[in-house]
Amino acid sequence: MNPSNSSQWLALVIGNSRFHWGYFEGATLQKSWDTPHLTTRSITQTIPNSLLIPEVPNNLPIYLASVVPSQTKLWQNYPKLNLITLEQIPLKKLYPTLGIDRALAVLGSGEKYGFPCLVIDAGTALTFTGVDNNSTLVGGAILPGLTLQLQVLANKTAALPQTNLPFNLPSRWSTTTPEAIQSGIIYTILAGVESFIEDWLEKFPTSRVVLTGGDSCFLVDYLQSNNTSLLDYISQDDNLMFEGIKSVSIY
């Protein structure tokens, strides 16, 4: 199936924490939403309505990319499944263990905003993935994401509380434990993000930097509040992986 010629189809990215869905009509993304992972039930003839929004039929073709093998197995018997692999990504010098989500996001960014590009995905993991103007992978980095760092401190210590990401940039010099946790994680992440962006722009001055992922809106707001000089180079886009899937399905 070539989705550019098909009326309706679904893109599904199985991330570390949840499903990311995109509903397409032809080559146009109409809706996107997230749902929890499946339990142990396998999918056979139709998609459970609990995973869909009301206007989407439950028997559409699916283009699926996954970083969770146990969840991928639950879709293997779906008759209209198209599994996307790293070998299908039209970028050069991809290494075998590169996450398919990272590859699709940077492909989608390049297709939409142009190459070279740097994608910063603020999800469960915070990842940096850069591709040059010849569509060749330059490299990247991986570290725990903002929310994951907050969760780990609460889960792996005896006295530190669970803390959520604040809507506003906290005071750097905090006087309560929750705010001190927020400050420590957020300001060190911001320093790292700005350092990676600055280094990338030294190599590729015309590049766009695109933030995506569940915590990317927080990260963009924090960068704005921190008065970074890099904002002119930065965009925020939640649908990069869907752009990548659309590109792969048409190639």
| Catalytic residue list | 101
User: Tokens 């103007």 sit at which residue?
Assistant: 133
Task: Tell how many helices (H) and how many strands (E) occur in the chain.
Answer: 6, 10
The alpha carbon of 52 is separated from its chain's Cα centroid by a whole number of angstroms, namely 20
Query: Distance between CA atoms of 225 and 223, rounded to whole angstroms?
Result: 5
